[in-house]
Amino acid sequence: MDFQKELSEITHRLDTTAILPRHQASDLFRASFAAAFPTMLQGKTYGQASGGLTILNQSEEAFRAELRSIDNDLGRQIAIVNESLDNWFIKGDQPAPYYPWRIAVILGKAKRREEEAAFLAAWCRHFGKIVGGRYEKLADRARKLGAL
C-alpha cells in the first residue's frame, strides 16, 4: 500500500500541533511516571504501567521479531510514530527517533523526496533540536533535502 493519506495526516498533525515546551513535557513525564510507579513496584515495566507504546509491551524476543518484520512497512511505522506523538503530547514521553527514521528511509528509497522533506520538516519542528545521534541524523537529512 501507498499510505499517502496516513503520511499526509501525520505530517499535518506535526505541522499544526503546538510545540510542547520542554519544561511542560518534563512536568507531564514526572506526573505520568509517578502515576505508573506503584504498578511498576508490582513487576510491570514503565511502558506497561503507563500504557506506553504497544510495540514495546511484549517480550524482547517478540519485539525484535516484530521490528524486523515491519522494517519497510510504512503504514506500521506511521502508526507507531502517531502513537508516540500521543504519548509525547499527553505524557511528555519523548518519541524514539528510530520510527521516524524508518519513515524517512522508506520514503527516500521510494524516491518520494517531497513527502520525505515535508515529513522531516514537520518532525524537526518539534524534535529537531534534541541532542542524540538519530535525532541529529534526522535533522541532517532534512537539511540535505532543503526542508530546514
Q: Residue ranges per domain, the chain?
A: 21-94, 97-148
2 pLDDT more than 80: no
Whole-prediction pTM value? 0.91
Residues 6+ apart with CB under 8 A from 84: 53, 93, 95, 96, 99
**Is 104 within 8 Å of 138 (Cβ atoms)?**
yes
Q: What is the pLDDT of residues 49-100, one digit of tens each?
A: 888 888 888 888 998 999 999 999 999 999 999 999 999 999 999 999 999 9
- Please give the C-alpha separations between residue 118 and each of 73, 74, 98, 102, 140, in angstroms, as whole numbers: 19, 15, 18, 15, 14
